[in-house]
Structure 1
Amino acid sequence: MKLPFRLIATLVLISLTGTFAYQAYWLTGLYGTMTHEMEKNIHEAMRMSDYREMMLRIKKMQRENGQHGSVEVQAGYEAGSENPVVSRDIKDDEGNRLRKDTLAPEESSAMLRSDNGLALILHDQGSTQALAGFIQRGIHSGIDLFSSPDITVYDSLLTLQLQEYGIRLPHHLEYFRTHTTPDSSQVFVDTLGRVQSAGYLPSKKAVRYDYTLNMSLSETYRLTMEPVDGLILKQMGGILATSLVILLILGFTFGYLVRTILRQKTLEEMKSDFTNNITHELKTPIAVAYAANDALLHFGLAEDRQQREKYLGICQEQLQRLGGLVEQILSMSMERRKSFRLHPERICLKTLFPTLIEQHRLKAGKPVEVALDIEPEELVLTADRIHLSNILSNLMDNAIKYSPAKAEIGIRCRKTESGQVEIAVSDHGTGIPADKLPHVFDKFYRVPTGNVHNTKGYGLGLFYVKTMTEKHNGNVSVKSEPGKGSTFTIRI
């Protein structure tokens, strides 16, 4: 079954893109909400600071009441008039009226019919904050008749209030009054006070926040400070870090998934190549042995002793080759079974190698010279005899196959300081490129040789060597240089 890699990769990419997009949308929405909330807090801080500043002035006026008498502020309608009137009575300690002031009708009307005035109370009674602002401006209109706002006190209160909301930024504060000519053709602005943080100079990106004090909307506090983006990002630091970690985990997971699928796809292709190769390898000895046997049976070659021995030798050689192939395949199958067991025994290497060397000389088809060096001469190794023979046979077979017209092989056996036995098989063949060395022990892997050496194989030999060596609690390594040969070393 072929893996639908393109479909899977497309679905993974769509899923990852969708996850990233949703995360970005959610974070953007959160950023917008926090920005709106912080700006709302700034306006609320300006309102609360104004209220507290006004309460401080009222308390101050109460303390001074014994010296200046009492003040009453009244609002209502005069008899027979449709215009609202606001008046104030100033009395002495004994209750005698000293002076009564009445505001002009247009000022009174502005107090009671401003844009955020009675209409708001009558039509939007649920807006508590707006109603509080309306009442606060109404109080201002009375209090400011006797005591002007103190911008220094207001600035101190505002700084504390902003800090309560986590806003610690240098700022610039102005208090100004606007008025127009009778025909409203010109607008005048009078700056009544200015305060700013030490050393602060507003930049071009600075943001202005206005808060209107009185009912006539003529007096305003203007707060200027840098954008709150940095504060919001700092507050979102934990969320952003968590989101980044999640995205990295997702990215790594999807990447690992794609990598696994690619490896599975590669493994599938390698298995397909292996099937084709092993089919060819199995068919060749069968076909040769069948042809030799057929010649002996049907063409009278059995009568000729020399021909008979020749063809029987061919049959035996091909059957040995076929047996070797089947043995490796069965070994790979058995290695995965839980019931697989080694049968270790003490093996004298001096008696093991001669038989192996002779077998490889007979089937090599080319001159083979083997230099065997065992030290000490009676070196003994504890291992499974069959699998150790197969391990060494694979290494020797590779050394012969990848050697030129004449194979020169060196076999060196030593005992290491750690007590292991080290067996190194060297050749002077084609060698292996450095970038291919990490893969030579992978299952089904074959080093590409181009058109220089068309050597048959199916990528199981070295995998078998590595697997069985590790089953013996040992390890295998390789050193190679293209054009100079290779050395495979096992330690058991």
Structure 2
Amino acid sequence: MEKKIKILHVCTIIAIIVFCITQCWWLYTRYDYIWQNYNEELYQSILGIMQEDFENRRISGERKNIDFVTESSIKVDNTKMQYTINLFFDVYVIDGSKYGDKDSTYSDRILNLYEKYKPEGIKKYEFSIRNCENEREAYVGLERFQVDEICPFSIKRLEDLLKKYGLKTTSITTEKMDSMVWKPKQFSHLNILKPNMTVIYPYDIFEGEVVRMNFDIGMSPIMKRMSGTMVLSLFISIMLISCLVFQIKTIRSQRKIEVLRKDFIQTMVHELKRPIYTLKMCVSFMRNDILMADSQSRAEVISDSYNELDNLSSYFSKLRDLTFDDITEIPLNKSSFSLGEVINDCVKKLNIPGTKKIEIKIISERDIVLYADRMHITNIISNLLENAVKYSAENGLIKISYGQSKKGSVTISIKDNGCGISKYDQKFIFDKFYRSREVIDNHIPGMGLGLAYVELLVKAHDGKVSVNSEEGKGAEFTITLPQDEFI
């Protein structure tokens, strides 16, 4: 059974580890999916902003006096089983304030002037686009070049536009590439703690001029979208792991109860053998007429029989009372009686082994009339005295003190100078069947019911029991019983 329980524990732990790894992998996959979606949405927003910036620059036209004359040509190469289109643009940028109004001969005049004189106010740009896949894209590039000449690109203007839409960059820079960049590019960096994205956008395709924008996305927008998933995953994880842990604890508790049950049965059988054996000896003695003729011997045998029957009755009373689920179920037959008289009776009936010499001192300023169940109070004091004798050294000293406070509660204290109780064991000594490892190793008899029985009866009287002890310095048990009902 022990081996099966260990295997079950190992399998449960492995299942928890595998589940946690699977959950982490699933959450990471979900995180990556949401990040990609958010990244794409952000990228499309940036493209829309760049297009808006382009439209604004085209409409504003900061340099309104700029004119353009464009000559274009197409060369088709259909050799070697390949079909390619090459486009060529000659773009003349003209200062319109110097060369008059436009008319039907305006383009020819500009071309002749530039060919003959290359005058100031006219600039010529030559662009060659080879292996052109889409002729429309070439004219889009031409338009961007013209808009950039009319209204040059501005980082400040772009930053303001980005802020307008709630986007903040870590850096914006312009660069000039070695070749034409036709389409914007996106570079995403999926860092779990600090994801970021870089966008390269060509604002002047023909001249290879691009703007590089870096964005720190942060975790908050992604975590916000994942909040529902994370809460559900966390709830399921906690529930499953809690169930598995509870299962392990339940199995361990059942195993512990089983061990306690076996130990209790063995101890109880051992403890019951002694009074039964003594009673058998007494019965055998009574059957002998010659031995029974001696009055002193007869009286001792009858006294021993009563004592052992009292011990058996005490065992069964403990077992009966400990089976109650609620202390209110314990029947109490309260009456007023002398506490000093009960203590003296308990001391007189106390069985002290012949191997020990125990001195018992009763300390009290006056006798007290206690209102409680006399039988239960007797059992409480007897159990504590038996424990004090059991755990005392060969020459032991037991002090019994009692008194009454101004509020009316009665305090009973039983102190010994025995082996004492460790701080760890003090937390469990009132548990049913609990016996410390040191007691078990030293083969001290007992069923682990005495202190649990004492606490049960004290609580039934609405009282409290506490212990003050150090290892090697003895132990002191204090019982406080309220007397409000009597008062």
Task: Give the TM-score of the pair, scaled to structure 1.
Answer: 0.73
Q: Say if 2:232 is the partner of 1:231.
A: no
* Equivalent position SS for 2:323: helix
Report the equivalent of 1:201: none
Write the mapping of 1:398-437 to structure 2, written as runs, cut at 5 A. Answer: 398-437=387-426
Q: Say if 2:17 is the partner of 1:9.
A: no
Q: Say if 2:56 is the partner of 1:56.
A: yes
Aligned residues: 440
Cα drift, residue 209 of structure 1: 3.5
**Structure 2 vs 1, CA of residues 455 and 152 (structure 1 numbering), >3 Å: closer, same or farther?**
same
**Structure 2 vs 1, CA of residues 83 and 296 (structure 1 numbering), >3 Å: closer, same or farther?**
closer
- Partner deviation per Cα, 1:57-111 (whole Å, 9 max, x = no partner): 32134993xx668989999999xx996878899998775351179999984665x
Cα drift, residue 360 of structure 1: 0.9
Judge conservation of contact 1:73–1:142 (CA < 8 Å) in 2: no
Q: Which blocks of at least 5 consecutive residues in structure 2 are unaligned?
A: 77-82, 112-123, 182-194, 482-487
Q: Say if 2:143 is the partner of 1:142.
A: yes
CA distance in 2 between counterparts of 1:319 and 1:365 reads: 23
Judge conservation of contact 1:70–1:93 (CA < 8 Å) in 2: no
Report the equivalent of 1:332: 322
Q: Residue type matched to 2:208 in 1?
A: E
Judge conservation of contact 1:369–1:408 (CA < 8 Å) in 2: yes
Single out whichever of 244-253 and 265-274 deviates more from structure 2.
244-253
Cα drift, residue 171 of structure 1: 0.8
**Structure 2 vs 1, CA of residues 58 and 366 (structure 1 numbering), >3 Å: closer, same or farther?**
closer
**Structure 2 vs 1, CA of residues 220 and 19 (structure 1 numbering), >3 Å: closer, same or farther?**
farther
CA distance in 2 between counterparts of 1:315 and 1:146 reads: 120
- Partner deviation per Cα, 1:322-368 (whole Å, 9 max, x = no partner): 12211211121245587433232223212322222211157887554
Judge conservation of contact 2:58–2:151 (CA < 8 Å) in 1: no
* Equivalent position SS for 1:488: strand
Report the equivalent of 2:32: 32
1:395 to 353, 375, 384: 384
Q: Residue type matched to 2:106 in 1?
A: L
Cα drift, residue 490 of structure 1: 0.4
CA distance in 1 between counterparts of 2:20 and 2:160 reads: 39
CA distance in 1 between counterparts of 2:45 and 2:174 reads: 15
CA distance in 1 between counterparts of 2:322 and 2:140 reads: 94
Judge conservation of contact 2:148–2:204 (CA < 8 Å) in 1: no
Single out whichever of 458-467 and 20-29 deviates more from structure 2.
20-29
CA distance in 1 between counterparts of 2:460 and 2:41 reads: 71
- Partner deviation per Cα, 1:19-59 (whole Å, 9 max, x = no partner): 32233113322332344345435643553343223212321
Identity within the alignment, % = 21
Q: Say if 2:367 is the partner of 1:359.
A: no
**Structure 2 vs 1, CA of residues 3 and 314 (structure 1 numbering), >3 Å: closer, same or farther?**
farther
Cα drift, residue 451 of structure 1: 8.6
Q: RMSD over aligned Cα, in angstroms?
A: 4.5
Q: Which blocks of at least 5 consecutive residues in structure 1 are unaligned?
A: 119-133, 181-188, 190-204
2:431 to 437, 442, 448: 442
Q: Say if 2:106 is the partner of 1:98.
A: yes
* Equivalent position SS for 1:99: helix
CA distance in 1 between counterparts of 2:395 and 2:75 reads: 126
Q: Residue type matched to 1:13 in 2?
A: I
* Equivalent position SS for 1:372: strand
Judge conservation of contact 2:267–2:447 (CA < 8 Å) in 1: yes
CA distance in 2 between counterparts of 1:420 and 1:451 reads: 36
Single out whichever of 338-347 and 426-435 deviates more from structure 2.
338-347
Cα drift, residue 145 of structure 1: 3.6
Task: Give the TM-score of the pair, scaled to structure 2.
Answer: 0.73
CA distance in 2 between counterparts of 1:335 and 1:207 reads: 66
Report the equivalent of 1:321: 311
